[in-house]
Amino acid sequence: MIGIVDYHLNNLRSVQKAFEKVGVQSFISDDPAELQSAEKLVLPGVGAFGQAMENIRALGLQPLLLDHAASGRPLLGICLGMQLLFSKSYELGAYDGLGIMRGSVKQFPDTVKVPHMGWNQIEKVKQSPLLKDVVENSFVYFVHSYFVVPDDDVTLTQTEYGFRFTSIVQDQNVFGIQFHPEKSQTTGLQLLKNFAGL
Amino acid sequence: MLAKRIIPCLDVDNGRVVKGTNFVGLVDAGDPVEQAKFYDGEGADELIFLDITASSDNRATMLKVVRMTAEEVSIPFTIGGGIRTTDDMRTMLRSGADKVSINTAAVNNPKVISEGAEKFGVQCIVVAIDAKKTAADRWKVFIHGGRTETGLDAVEWAQRCESLGAGEIMLTSMDRDGTKDGYDVELLKRVTDAVRIPVIASGGAGNLDHLYQAFAQADVDAVLAASIFHFRQYTIAQAKEYLRTKNIFVRT
């Protein structure tokens, strides 16, 4: 069973519905005890980094997420959820993230429109079971003003927006997707299906 | 590369689509959810629902439309019309809308933009601006569905919205709306030059070249159109094919 982590920032139904579409059962919970039983965890999210970390700590979800990642079970961060996996963010200040992956979260430069909003493409950098049957240069739906700069070689795909930034990461059992697979039609559904099948 | 977006806009009154109900092949062409599914399948990049219902009694009807659309449609959609407070925003977002659009409420209480952006993120706050040309190179902002002039300069107001935390501007030319004479490219260009957030062109699309002109001349990020798609003058696929031949990058 896939557990979708609710840290009270957004509507999680679209993620759950996307899993339903590929025939995968999931449950939404903000309770660490309940989420502990999940084989796989999904950390979705939109909103501000600082507020998200505050909620995660207040709900006692930080140890759960760290333990889950350390146990080798699959964990997937989506959008802000991907950014939260990293050590540090500079969104409206400087905040510590979960630190499951090393790297930081930075704002797009003045040379491009922000937020980066709409359908953009993903270019594969590495192969991974997560990218099974995902076509090169597929269009997926992005909405974000910040992007991750990993310290390590974890980039699976990159996306061009004035320059190339990391759009999917993997470090062993931990995955991050910067765009919204639940809003990205067939490509998005394929990624969620692949994650569910890990 | 980021694709330029094509966004059909559905006007919904009391839970029913009021324009363009002559869709062929839909069981109930006046059903907003049916139309949303249709456009999703046809390759629309996003959808906008404008709730034009005057009375607040019918909010429940609109919420039902939002919930059902969220269940059925796999592309992002925005809800506008009658959203005044961050509570209204929360209700819509929690029901499954990806973004909310505010117009009159933003002018009357600009703080609602920043409060919404802080609570839900800038990415889901769209400010809709209805602008009308009042002198050479000057456009004023109107509210209450275009009935009330505010005295605000449209370009300055767009910049203010950006600084307050709007994630996107949906800019409608009242002079062009419904005319099919093309978007007000001059107005659009003034605003895209003045802000860094994405701008959606609205008001006046009558043919595919109008869409092209908005992208090519005004560098907008998206075009909104209603009647050219609703009355099946063009399909979304035809629009994209046309833009592609003109070297505008669109999603396949």
Residue-wise pLDDT tens digits, B225-248? 988 998 889 999 999 999 999 999
User: What pLDDT was estimated at residue A92?
Assistant: 80
User: What pLDDT was estimated at residue B54?
Assistant: 62
Element (H, E) at B101: strand B99-102
Q: Does residue A145 belong to the interface with chain B, where contact is any CB pair within 8 Å?
A: yes
For residue B218, which phi and psi values (nearest 5 degrees)?
A: -110, -5
Contact B121 A47 (CB under 8 A): yes
Contact A48 B98 (CB under 8 A): no
Please compute, for residue A10, the number of CA atoms within 13 A of its CA located in the half-sphere on the CB side. Answer: 29
User: What pLDDT was estimated at residue B121?
Assistant: 86
Element (H, E) at A57: helix A49-58
pLDDT in tens, A87-100: 999 888 899 999 99
> How far is the C-alpha of A25 from the C-alpha of A32, rounded, in Å?
19
User: What pLDDT was estimated at residue B22?
Assistant: 52
Contact A183 B76 (CB under 8 A): yes
Element (H, E) at B185: helix B185-194
In 3D, which of B62, B64, B36, B71 has the Cα closest to residue A14? B71
E-strand stretches of A6-115: 26-29, 40-43, 75-78, 86-89, 95-96, 101-107
Residue A11 has pLDDT above 80, yes or no: no
Average pLDDT, chain B: 92
Distance of alpha carbon B170 from its chain centroid, rounded?
Answer: 5
User: Could you tell me if A11 and B89 are in contact, meaning their C-beta atoms sit under 8 angstroms apart?
Assistant: no
Higher pLDDT: A50 or A179? It is: A179
| Domain annotation for chain B: domains and CATH numbers | 5-245 (3.20.20.70)
Query: Which of A119, A144, A188 lies nearest to residue B3, judging by beta carbons?
Result: A119
Contact A120 B5 (CB under 8 A): no
- The stretch B141-151 carries a mean pLDDT of 93
User: What pLDDT was estimated at residue B59?
Assistant: 80
User: Could you tell me if B23 and B235 are in contact, meaning their C-beta atoms sit under 8 angstroms apart?
Assistant: no
Helix (H, G, I), strand (E, B) or coil at B51: strand
User: What pLDDT was estimated at residue B56?
Assistant: 64
> How far is the C-alpha of B20 from the C-alpha of B148, rounded, in Å?
27
ipTM: 0.92
Helix (H, G, I), strand (E, B) or coil at A84: helix
A164-171 β-sheet, strand order: A26-29, A2-5, A40-43, A75-78, A174-177, A164-171, A155-160, A123-124
User: What pLDDT was estimated at residue B52?
Assistant: 86
Q: Does residue A14 belong to the interface with chain B, where contact is any CB pair within 8 Å?
A: yes
Contact B167 A110 (CB under 8 A): no
User: Could you tell me if B130 and B224 are in contact, meaning their C-beta atoms sit under 8 angstroms apart?
Assistant: no
Q: Does residue A162 belong to the interface with chain B, where contact is any CB pair within 8 Å?
A: no
Given pLDDT bands bounded at 50, 70 and 90, which one contains residue B180?
A: very high
Residue A196 has pLDDT above 70, yes or no: yes
Interface size, chain A vs chain B, as Cβ–Cβ contacts under 8 Å: 90
Given pLDDT bands bounded at 50, 70 and 90, which one contains residue B25?
A: low
User: Which of B46, B67, B79, B122 to mutate to probe the A interface, most A CBs <10 Å?
Assistant: B122
pLDDT in tens, A126-157: 999 999 999 999 999 999 999 999 999 999 99
- Measure Cα distances from B230 to A156, B36, B66, B205, B233 in Å: 40, 11, 20, 12, 8
Distance from the Cα of B14 to chain A's closest Cα (Å) equals 25
User: Could you tell me if B150 and B143 are in contact, meaning their C-beta atoms sit under 8 angstroms apart?
Assistant: yes
> How far is the C-alpha of A140 from the C-alpha of B60, rounded, in Å?
32
β-partners of residue B171 are: B129, B201
pLDDT in tens, B166-177: 999 999 999 999
Whether residue B130 lies in the annotated active site: yes
The DSSP string of B118-164 is HHH-GGGEEEEEEEEEEETTEEEEEETTTTEEEEEEHHHHHHHHHHH
DSSP 8-state class, residue A134: P
What residues contact B73, with CB distance under 8 A and at least 6 apart?
B33, B36, B37, B40, B47
pLDDT in tens, B42-91: 999 999 999 988 666 678 889 999 999 999 998 999 999 999 999 999 99
Query: Which residues of A are identified as catalytic?
Result: 79, 180, 182
- Measure Cα distances from A73 to A24, A35, A45, A76, A100 in Å: 17, 12, 20, 10, 13
| Domain annotation for chain A: domains and CATH numbers | 2-196 (3.40.50.880)
